[in-house]
Amino acid sequence: MTVIIEQSLANSHSYTEYRDHMSQLLKEGLSTGDSQSEDLTHYSTLNEVRMNRLDKTIHIPQEIQDRLDKLKSKHTLLVISEGWCGDAAQIVPVIEKLAEASDKLDLRIVLRDQNPQLMDAYLTNGARSIPKLVLVEPDTLTVRGSWGPRPHDAAKLILDAKEKFGHIPAEAKADLQKWYLQDKGLSTMEEIVLLLENAE
């Protein structure tokens, strides 16, 4: 696993580099990932707007900041993402805000389709669901935990829809986006900070 983590970190981007890469591809009418389609480019365009908004509006509550300030160890937040993923657009900016708020945290982002070995080590119910956060000890590259692809309540919303309809209808996808809007990143912050605390 250490070799996979090392290779993934070598392929990784900072948040700014990730955003710039997405923007450059969109100018060329493309999305990140191995597959290309009008739909994926459309989703990527929507996600860029979402991420721009979240970069400006996400706020770290004092209680979360206090817990970040108490972290003793350094952690690398290795996040698997793609520009077309709606969940990633809602979550990765929140993780960036956490990383900005603590000198103990370093966010590195890898693209799912370019890092299949890492992705396949962190499947969700057998699926390559993203975003996925892998918590890495920077000195030893030891994995201390993982999180994703969604906060608990968001995941439950989608699971309930799957159970009820046998698939995820458009209404459930719309409800998920409303949930993210109302939650303001707080569930993501809470769950990731808890992961960090448990890894100390």
Residue type (1 letter), 64: I
Name the residue range of residue 163's domain.
2-199
What pTM does this model have? 0.96
Distance, CA of 26 to CA of 131 (rounded, Å): 20
Look at residues 72, 23, 130 and name the one whose alpha carbon lies nearest to residue 122: 130
b/e for 87-100, b at 16 or more Cβ within 10 A?
Answer: bbbbbbbbbbbbbe
pLDDT tens column, 114-146: 999 999 999 999 999 999 999 999 999 999 999
Question: In total, how many domains does the chain have?
Answer: 1
pLDDT tens column, 136-177: 999 999 999 999 999 999 999 999 999 999 999 999 999 999
**Termini Cα distance of the chain:** 20
Determine the longest span between alpha carbons in the chain, in angstroms.
Answer: 46
Q: Given its phi and psi angles, is residue 75 left (phi above 0), alpha (psi -120 to 50 degrees) or beta?
A: beta
The CATH number of whichever domain residue 191 belongs to comes to: 3.40.30.10
